Amino acid sequence: MKHQYLKLKLSIFISFSLLASLTAQATPTPIATFPIEIIDNRTHIRFDGPNGTITFLLDTGATSSIFFDTTLIPDHALADVSEAKINFPAIGKSAVGKRLGEVSLSEGPSTFVSKNGLLIAGDTGVQDALEANFSGIIGQELFERYTVEIDPQEEKLNLYLPGTDLEEEFELVHNLKMVGHTPYITFKSQLPWEKRSSVKNMMLDSGYPGGMVFWSERHFKQATSLAERKLLVSQQMGVLTAANISFGSLYFENLPIFIARVPCLPNLKSETA
């Protein structure tokens, strides 16, 4: 069973690895540590770039890592000339990227090697819509290959060998349901627009700037009137509200919630970010 562990100081431990847990250690030692910064409720990892510090968004919902800056790509990583399409559901756009080989990202003595990422260069429309003031996105490959600990208070991200058991270090546990390599949290709740409680299967997506997002026809219809829906649909918009949410033993006041219809994207066989 895969878990997400939450410390009282709100650090999180996530592992998507299917390997069995290693023998528990009193104090597991990370094999790499990177500095992070929380910007708009999203985790940004800092690396050494050719002209100073660069940042990458950490996105558990991204099936592939993405690079926007061609200066970070070594020649050997461009040997594969294949291309792939990638969808960005949050902004209703898609883009074509060049498949990459291995790209090393380092900070001090620590190095992470991205494999099979995508280079999306020159598509300023996607970057502008994403408000991408970062050089790229680190996706699910990080969690597939390592046990990951994110500590916002210490502003660091620790990588451990896959299967490392950190359970003793955390106070709260939430089970994750894995669909492929994408993590989901299942829970039962009653939101303000619902007549009764219902089971929700929510994707754990660190690329969103906090809160909850419902891409759901059912929730969209329950939360809006017919007149509101007609106006919102015509303008390709959704509803932004807030609610007090109990999640296990955690309680969140005025948590932002966005509700909209399922975004319309081209019917393409593609990756997702």
pLDDT in tens, the chain (273 residues): 333 333 333 445 555 544 444 444 567 899 999 999 998 888 999 999 988 999 999 999 899 999 999 999 999 998 777 888 888 877 777 888 899 999 999 999 999 999 999 998 876 677 777 777 899 999 999 999 999 999 999 999 999 999 898 888 788 778 888 888 888 888 888 888 898 988 888 888 888 877 888 988 999 999 999 999 999 999 888 999 988 887 767 788 888 999 998 765 444 345 666
CA triplet 89, 94, 95: central angle to 5 degrees?
A: 145
CB 83 within 8 A of CB 98: yes
**List of domains in the chain:** 10-165 (2.40.70.10), 172-272 (no CATH)
